Homo-oligomer: A and B are copies of this chain.
Amino acid sequence: MNGVTEPIRRHRTAQVTATVTANGAPLPDREVLLQQTGHQFLFGCTDFESPADAETAEPAADAPAGRWLELFNFATLPFYWGRFEPVRGQPDPARLLRTARWLTTRGCVVKGHPLAWHTVAPEWLLDLSNAEIAQALTARIEREVAGFAGVIDAWDVINEAVIMPIFDRYDNGITRVCREMGRIPMIRMVVDAARAANPQATLLLNDFDMSAAYECLIEGVLEAGIRIDALGLQSHMHQGYWGEEKTLGVLDRFSRFGLPIHFTETTIVSGHLMPPEIDDLNDYQVAQWPTTTDGEQRQADEITRHYRTLLSHPSVQAITYWGFTDGGWLGAPGGLLRADGTTKPAYEALRSLIKEQWWLPPTKTATDAAGRLRFAGFLGTYEVSALGRTTTLRLDRPGDVAVEVDLSE
């Protein structure tokens, strides 16, 4: 466990004593092959482009989809209502369902994003009354959540509710309803709709506002008895890396609620920084925003620091990197791949963390005279092989664990 910090070791790894048995008897002094096959931690990324086109065939390892699968086990798929159903009554679920299945068959957890948001709301809502908008919204939520249940069982149910009722950049149906209902009744309405459509789903609030405003909203939602499964915190760092102190401060404030935390939208650019005076990131419109050699090195360093900080806090269960390839949102060089598909140092840095420092490669070891072997491993799934047989071991809580590994035929 070289390079693994003490908090990460404490919260993310198990110290395993495994008794290897076959047909009820320990297997002493036996050579065993151990290898990790998955992470419990959700290492996520948006996945808006590539694998959908790949249909069922395996992508090449050096194709974007192959690069993506090499690192990630968690995908965020786009359900922006205005694009999903630009004409009322004509939604387009087929392509997303194919993509989601493609990902789940490869072991990924898939999350839909978002169900309720004032941005990219359908234009046709503007012709409806507020009561009709609310009805259309809950119907759309029930349709998507039920329609994708079993494939997508995690949802960013409501996005940016802190500003939802006071968003004043342009008129939209969701702000109208939220202003009339209030944030908390709106959240109750959309969460109830999603919960009813898929009681097994993991339902998130998601926000970019890291101030006390989001804290106050969460507190109000929980006091109102609305069940939320995880808190989504965005961290688009187009204006510069937060640094450890700010990140730990955010974690301290948002972990008070006792809920799992997902870092849902993380971006660190490998080009120049967006000027600090920009308030709404969408206001920064530039013709060219190139990736640079220095920027790529900085990005790699900062991503390493950010992921290490987040994994050091036990509340964090997921990190989703936002934008796998350069040139997506805002044209920013925030990807892990350049626009030409080549990997940046940040990609290599993340691979080094996720698949080297925090990963047990195929390891030959042996049981002792009592049939036991000891190892330390990151929480996740493992294959244990001996006697020409293989079984799966799942490590799902940190610290000392004693397990039996049964290799009976």
- Asked whether B212 lies within 8 Å of A220 as measured between CB atoms, the reply is no
A179 at the interface (CB under 8 A from B): yes
Docked pose: A86 CA to B94 CA in angstroms: 69
**Residue A219 at the chain B interface, CB threshold 8 Å:** yes
A227 interfacial by beta-carbon distance below 8 Å:
no
Q: Choose among B216, B253, B256 the residue that contacts A216 (Cβ–Cβ < 8 A).
A: B216
Check B223–A182 contact: CB distance below 8 A. yes
Query: Is the CB–CB distance between A216 and B183 below 8 Å?
Result: yes
Contact A223 B185 (CB under 8 A): yes
Residue in B closest to A221 when the chains form the complex, CB atoms: B220
A162 at interface, CB cutoff 8 A: yes
Nearest chain-B residue to A213 (Cβ)?
Answer: B213
Query: Is A166 an interface residue when CB atoms closer than 8 A count as contact?
Result: yes
This chain: copies in complex: 2
B213 and A212 within 8 A (CB): yes
Contact A166 B220 (CB under 8 A): no
Give the most central of A184, A212, A216, A219: most B CB within 10 Å.
A216
Q: Is A368 an interface residue (CB 8 A)?
A: no
A234 to chain B, nearest CB (A): 15
Q: Which residue on B lies nearest to A180, using beta carbons?
A: B256
CA distance A219 to B224 in the complex (A): 10
Chain A residues 195 to 223 lying within 8 A of chain B, measured CB to CB, are 209, 211-217, 219-221, 223
Q: Which among B165, B215, B217, B221 is the interface contact of A166 at CB below 8 angstroms?
A: B215
Instruction: Point out which of A163, A182, A212 has the most chain B C-beta atoms below 10 A from its C-beta.
Output: A212
Pair B209/A256 contact, Cβ less than 8 Å: no
Contacts of A253 in B (CB 8 A): 166
What is the bound-complex CA distance between A163 and B211, given in angstroms?
10
Asked if residues A212 and B182 are in contact (CB atoms below 8 Å), the reply is no
* With known contacts A253-B166, A256-B179, A220–B215 Cβ distance under 8 A: no
Chain B residues lying within 8 Å of A162, measured Cβ to Cβ, are 212, 216
* Shortest Cβ distance from residue A369 to the other chain B in the assembled complex, whole angstroms: 51
Q: How far is the CA of A95 from the CA of B56 in the complex (A)?
A: 83
Complex CA–CA separation, A184 to B221 (angstroms):
11
Q: In the assembly, what is the distance between CA of A182 and CA of B216, in Å?
A: 9
Name which residue of chain B comes closest to A220, CB basis: B220
Contact string, A90-112, partner B, CB cutoff 8 A, digits 1/0? 00000000000000000000000
**Which of B209, B211, B216 interacts with A220 by CB under 8 Å?**
B216
Could you say which of A185, A214, A220 has the most chain B C-beta atoms within 10 Å of its C-beta? A220
Whole-angstrom distance between the alpha carbons of A365 and B123 in the complex?
60
- Nearest 10 A-B pairs (CB), nearest first? A220-B220, A213-B213, A216-B216, A216-B217, A212-B213, A184-B223, A223-B224, A162-B212, A213-B216, A182-B219
9 contacts between A and B (CB under 8 A): A162-B216, A165-B256, A183-B219, A184-B219, A212-B213, A213-B215, A214-B216, A216-B217, A223-B223
Q: A212-B213, A219-B220 are in contact. List 19 more A-B contacts (CB 8 A).
A: A162-B212, A166-B212, A166-B215, A166-B253, A182-B219, A182-B256, A184-B219, A184-B220, A184-B223, A185-B223, A209-B212, A211-B213, A213-B213, A213-B215, A214-B216, A216-B220, A217-B219, A220-B220, A220-B224
